[in-house]
Structure formats: C-alpha cells, structure tokens
C-alpha cells in the first residue's frame, strides 16, 4: 500500500483512543475543563454507565461564539502559551479533549460567556460539526455527550459492566473533588442517591471536611495535618506539601485510600508512593497501606505533566527533593503525634458496649487530644531501666497517685490486670496499656537511635550462651557475624551447627538469647544474603526488640509501670507496636458515664 495522509477524522479518532479510554475519561476531561473555567458548582449526570449519556454543567466563565466554534477543533486551546510550553497552570493544555470526544460520540455544547446577553449551542456528531445556534442557558457551560464510542464499536467491546463504569466515574469525581474543596460537586449516576459535596471554605478545615466526606469519619478523626516547605530543585523556587495523613494504626490492605496530587492533579507517581512507603516504613505492618490525601505544589517549570496521555503520571525535575520534602513532612507529623494511637480502639470498645445496652441516641467518642508536656523524658528513664531486672511484687499504694500524675497524658497507674494490661487513670478518663506491645516499641525506637548514632552498647555474658541450630542456619548466621557485631550481637562458630553468643545489645537487658538467635538465623536464611543486615535493620531491630521486651505474663511494680507510661509519652511512634497494633486504648470518663446511663 502506498503511504497516504490520514484524514482529520481518522486522526481525531486515533487521538481519542489515547485520551478517552472509558466513560470516566470523558467525565475527567469535562470536569477538568469546568475547573479550569473557574466554576464554583459542577453538576454531573450519567446514564448507562456513561455510554448513553454524560452531562456536565458548570457555572464557570463560559465561551464566546467564536471560542465555542474553536473549542471542538483539534489542538485548539486557550490555556497554553506557545512561548513557554512548561508554564502550565491549568489542568488542560493540549486542546484535544473536546475534539476527541466529538469524533467518537454525539457532542453538544451549550455555553454563555459571562456577562454576554445570549448563549449558543454547537453540536458535533461523530466528527461532523453542525451549525451553531442560539440557545437558552442561564450561564456557564453545559456539555452533553451521547452514545459514546458509537463511532468506534471496537472500543465498545472493551467496556466493563455498567456498575464498573459508574464506579470508575465516581472515583474520578471524588479525586477531583478532593483537590478542589472550594468547588461544589453533584454526581448523579442513576444508582442510589446522588453524590453531593457542598462547597467548602478555602482553608485547612475546609479541606479536612471535604476529605472526611470522601474518606470517611474514621479518617477525619485520626488524620494528622501535614505541611512542609522545600526547594523545588531549581535552587530558588519553592515547593510545598500539605494535606492530611492517617495515624499509623489506621491502615488498610490496599492503597485505595491513598490519594496523591501534584498541582491539583490526581496522579499515580512512583516518587510520591515511594516517599509515603518510606515515611510510614516500620510504623505499619507489612503489606498494609496508610490512608492519606497529600497535595504537592511545585512551580510549573519544576514538573513535566506532559508525559502521559491522560496526565496520570508526571515527572519531577528533582524527584529526590520532592521525596525528601514528603518524607520529612510526614515523619515530622507522625513523630509529633508521638504516643497518640488511633481513636479507633476506644471507639470500638465503646461500640461493643453500645451494641448491647446503649440507647440509639448515643453519639461518637471524642478523640484523645493530648498535649505532651515537654522535657520529662530522660529523668523518667531511670526507674524504667529496672524493667529488665527480675520482677517484683505489686507494691501497696497503687491508689496514692497525686494530682500531678493525673496530668500526664497517659495518667497514673492504678493496676495491672491479667499480667499484661496496665490500667491508668487520666484527668478525664482511663487508659489501658498493652505492656508488651508498648515496651517493644520503646526498645525498638531506642535500638534504632543507638544504631543510627553508631554506638550500640553491649553487655558481655559471663558464660557464653551456646545455641545449637541446624547447620544451614548456623552457617548463614556466622557469615553475618561482623554485621551482627555492629548491631551489638557478638557471636562465633562453636563446632558443627552451633554458635556461641558472647555479647548482646545492652538495651535488650536480660533477653531471651536463645529465641533471638533462632529467629535471626531463620530470618537470614529465609531472606538470603543478598541484602546487608543493616539495610534490614528495621526487621532485625524489631526482632530484637520483641525478644528484649517485657513479656506479657510478667508482674510489674507500680514504679515500673509508671516508668513505662512516662517512657511511652517520651517515645516517638509509641502509640503503636512494631506490628501496627495500638499499644493502648483510651476511654473518656464521659463515655464511661454514658455506659452507665449517667449522661
């Protein structure tokens, strides 16, 4: 076949194939156009999963008749400056969407330029532009797309169920709504009741309210405000990140409630996803994902948004700087949250009672809101060290806590029950601590600090502990002896299939050496020797912490228990154990009173 120039119609259909993958892509393009037109309210109606009808109406700037005629032409846009292709401040810029949609469906645009006397309407039927006519419209722009893909039946065959398309459309609208809380959204899909997001104030509170409407109450209650400023890579130009991120105790099996935006655009981006993973790292269980909505704003010149047909991916000029900004801001907020655990624990506890006895009118639990007193960390460590000494009997005087003690965030110890749970009284309620989980976190954080500063104190054993393992495990452990020594565990071979332990990390105290060594050996054998132990420091430290922690089943003295609470208050991330479970739950007095019908 000789080469020939493709017709404009064919070119448009090919382009449409890239931009318009499914009905949700049309919704995305039309809603983005409405946002770019400074709309304050956007109304979306779809029927038949968007294949029979998509209608998007806005109260934005509208278009003049000449602009309306141009808007459906390919490569016609009001948003791109040909002087600086990288200065993109709008969601659209390629001038392709309306032309693409017009080539594969029945497109009708009705629009009135703000301040103009009359509105006009223009139709494009599967690539053929019709005559423009005067039309009645109050203001803004309304765009109707009917019989999507009727010009490309092959595409139709790829459509999933109507339900699946409605879900994709809903997801698209939700994401755009998160990034633009100032704008009101209404989505009607024929299914169930319409989705409605009221216009919110242009503030952090407005954003949180919009996020709560989309991500749920639990997120709102457990979300930390994130905010950070950085250098965008070009030296002078600033960038910033803001948004909300859930406490580590709030996690899900998938990343479906992780929303990331760059310059108001929902994106899937490796740099951002990697940064989130790194920041939460050892705070949540493996394979689980935190909930968050983060907005990164960079100078338009510091990000390339033109690397993906639907702009779902971006490329940063300096990905490392963006990553550092994100990890820093997240870590800072998580560390500041300190021992604050998810409110979920207490809420669930109350709900257990509520289900049985409470009247319908009962309402939710206020979340704990601790202001951590500063500077009582180190002084309180001394009695805590005695946790590693042999256990003592519960002493008398557990009820003599002074008022001062009650002012500590985690309060004053009243009792230990079932040899693992510490019950403490706070100013306005009570706290139940899982002593093993809490101690494990504290030891782990100390280990990490020691490792980071390169000074892991060890304690020598008077008599080396000889531990016999299977030959492979002993081998792989001995091969790592140098690295283990840096981590404070000094071992050497002891004949066939055994090792002698000479020193252990002092932090672990009187630890279960046998269990620790077996666990480490099994882990090293399983993971192979490819990665250095220090890279797996988190796993190793976590393992060590687990063996060095007060076991459940151990009686503690009141002093030991109070010391544990004070240490928790002074330790970052102590609201959850290394496995992501909460280390304590808090119940408010008001809620306890409700349980007994006193309120």
Listed ranges 89-97, 114-122, 510-518, 555-563: which one lies at the site for Mg ion (CB under 5 A): 89-97
Shortest Cβ 316–Mg ion spacing (Å):
23
Candidate residues 60, 228, 233, 246; the one interacting with ligand ADP per rule CB under 6 A: 60
Are 50 and 23 a contacting pair, CB within 8 Å? yes
Are 370 and 340 a contacting pair, CB within 8 Å? yes
6 DSSP assignment: P
CA–CA separation, 309 vs 51, rounded Å? 21
The greatest distance separating any two alpha carbons of the chain, rounded to the nearest whole angstrom, comes to 99
**Pick from Mg ion, ligand ADP, none: which does 51 bind, CB < 5 to 8 A by kind?**
none
CA–CA separation, 413 vs 61, rounded Å? 63
Shortest Cβ 56–ligand ADP spacing (Å):
7
Q: Which residues from 92-111 bind Mg ion, rule CB under 5 A?
A: 92, 97
The smaller minimum CB distance to ligand ADP, of residues 94 and 594, is found at: 94
Give the count of beta carbons closer than 10 Å to the beta carbon of residue 336. Answer: 12
**Pick from ligand ADP, Mg ion, none: which does 568 bind, CB < 5 to 8 A by kind?**
none
Can residue 580 be called a binding residue for ligand ADP (CB under 6 A)? no
CA–CA separation, 191 vs 208, rounded Å? 27
Measured CA to CA in angstroms, residue 15 lies from 12, 86, 107, 335, 336 at distances of 5, 22, 16, 48, 49
Residues 6+ apart with CB under 8 A from 504: 458, 459, 461, 488, 489, 490, 511, 513, 516
Shortest Cβ 369–ligand ADP spacing (Å):
43
Can residue 331 be called a binding residue for ligand ADP (CB under 6 A)? no
Can residue 93 be called a binding residue for ligand ADP (CB under 6 A)? yes
Q: Which residue is nearest to ligand ADP (CB)?
A: 92
For tokens 């990331």, the residue is 260
The smaller minimum CB distance to ligand ADP, of residues 98 and 247, is found at: 98
Exposed / middle / buried, residue 542 (Cβ in 10 Å: 0-12, 13-18, 19+): buried
Measured CA to CA in angstroms, residue 309 lies from 6, 22, 52, 305 at distances of 21, 13, 24, 10
Beta strand segments in 247-370, E? 251-252, 258-262, 265-266, 289-290, 292-297, 303-304, 315-316
* Per-residue binder mask for ligand ADP (CB under 6 A), 115-134, x = binder: --------------------
Listed ranges 97-105, 286-294, 351-359, 481-489: which one lies at the site for ligand ADP (CB under 6 A): 97-105
Question: In 3D, which of 179, 178, 197, 199 has the Cα closest to residue 187?
Answer: 197
Are 447 and 507 a contacting pair, CB within 8 Å? yes
Candidate residues 50, 95, 411, 505; the one interacting with ligand ADP per rule CB under 6 A: 95
Shortest Cβ 526–ligand ADP spacing (Å):
52
**Pick from Mg ion, ligand ADP, none: which does 58 bind, CB < 5 to 8 A by kind?**
ligand ADP
Q: What one-character-per-residue DSSP string does 212-277 give? A: HHHH-HHHHHTEEEEEEEEE-SSSS-EEEEEEEEE-TTSEESSSTTEEEEETTEE---HHHHHHHH
Candidate residues 12, 25, 71, 121; the one interacting with ligand ADP per rule CB under 6 A: 71
Shortest Cβ 98–Mg ion spacing (Å):
7
Can residue 33 be called a binding residue for Mg ion (CB under 5 A)? yes
Candidate residues 77, 209, 420, 525; the one interacting with ligand ADP per rule CB under 6 A: 77
Can residue 63 be called a binding residue for ligand ADP (CB under 6 A)? yes
**Pick from ligand ADP, Mg ion, none: which does 411 bind, CB < 5 to 8 A by kind?**
none
Candidate residues 24, 27, 34, 537; the one interacting with ligand ADP per rule CB under 6 A: 34
Listed ranges 87-95, 258-266, 450-458, 569-577: which one lies at the site for ligand ADP (CB under 6 A): 87-95
Residues that bind Mg ion in the complex, under the rule CB under 5 A: 33, 92, 97
Residues that bind ligand ADP in the complex, under the rule CB under 6 A: 29, 33-34, 37, 58, 60-63, 71, 76-79, 92-99, 141
């Amino acid at each position: 076949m000789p080469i020939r120039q493709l017709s404009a119609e064919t070119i448009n259909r090919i382009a449409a194939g890239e931009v318009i993958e499914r009905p949700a892509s049309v919704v995305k393009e039309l809603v983005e156009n409405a946002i770019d037109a400074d709309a304050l309210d956007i109304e979306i109606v779809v029927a038949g999963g968007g294949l029979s009808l998509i209608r998007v109406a806005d109260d934005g700037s509208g278009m003049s008749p000449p602009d309306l005629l141009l808007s459906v032409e390919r490569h016609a846009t009001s948003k791109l400056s040909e002087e600086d292709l990288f200065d993109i401040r709008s969601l659209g810029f390629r001038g392709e969407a309306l032309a693409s949609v017009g080539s594969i469906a029945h497109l009708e645009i009705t629009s009135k330029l703000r301040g103009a006397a009359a509105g006009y309407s223009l139709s494009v039927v599967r690539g053929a532009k019709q005559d423009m006519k005067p039309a009645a419209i109050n203001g803004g722009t309304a765009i109707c797309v009917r019989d999507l893909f009727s010009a490309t039946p092959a595409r139709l065959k790829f459509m999933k169920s109507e339900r699946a398309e409605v879900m994709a459309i809903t997801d698209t609208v939700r994401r755009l709504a998160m990034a633009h809380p100032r704008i009101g959204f209404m989505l009607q899909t024929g299914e169930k009741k319409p989705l409605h997001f009221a216009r919110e104030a242009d503030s952090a509170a407005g954003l949180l309210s919009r996020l709560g409407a989309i991500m749920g109450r639990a997120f709102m209650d457990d979300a930390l405000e994130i905010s950070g400023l950085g250098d965008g890579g070009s030296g002078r130009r600033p960038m910033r990140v803001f948004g909300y991120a859930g406490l580590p105790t709030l996690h899900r099996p998938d990343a479906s409630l992780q929303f990331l935006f760059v310059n108001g655009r929902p994106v899937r981006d490796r740099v951002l996803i990697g940064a989130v993973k790194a920041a939460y790292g050892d705070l949540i269980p493996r394979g689980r994902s935190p909930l968050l909505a983060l907005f990164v704003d960079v100078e338009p010149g510091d990000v390339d948004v033109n690397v993906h047909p639907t702009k779902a991916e971006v490329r940063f000029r300096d990905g490392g700087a963006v990553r550092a900004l994100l990890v820093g801001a997240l870590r800072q907020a998580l560390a500041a949250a300190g021992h604050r655990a998810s409110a979920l624990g207490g809420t669930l506890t109350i709900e257990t009672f509520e289900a049985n006895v409470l009247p319908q009118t009962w309402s939710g639990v206020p979340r704990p809101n601790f202001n951590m007193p500063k500077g009582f960390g180190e002084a309180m460590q001394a009695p805590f060290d005695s946790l590693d000494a042999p256990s003592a009997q519960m002493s008398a005087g557990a009820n003599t806590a002074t008022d001062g003690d009650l002012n500590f965030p985690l309060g004053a110890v009243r009792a230990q029950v079932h040899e693992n749970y510490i019950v403490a009284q706070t100013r306005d309620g009570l706290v139940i601590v899982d002593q093993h989980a809490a101690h494990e976190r504290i030891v782990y954080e100390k280990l990490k600090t020691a490792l980071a500063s390169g000074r892991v104190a060890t304690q020598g054993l008077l008599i080396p502990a000889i531990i016999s393992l299977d030959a492979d495990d002993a081998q792989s452990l001995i091969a790592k002896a140098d690295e283990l020594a840096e981590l404070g565990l000094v071992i050497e071979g002891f004949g066939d299939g055994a090792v002698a332990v000479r020193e252990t990390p002092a932090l672990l105290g009187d630890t279960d050496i046998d269990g620790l060594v077996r666990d480490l050996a099994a882990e090293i054998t399983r993971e192979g020797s490819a990665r250095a132990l220090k890279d797996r420091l988190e796993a190793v430290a976590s393992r060590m912490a687990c063996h060095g922690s007060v076991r459940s089943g151990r009686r503690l003295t009141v002093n030991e228990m109070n010391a544990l609470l004070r240490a928790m208050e002074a330790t970052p991330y102590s609201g959850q154990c290394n496995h992501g479970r909460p280390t304590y739950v808090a119940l408010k007095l008001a809620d306890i009173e409700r349980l007994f019908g006193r309120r």
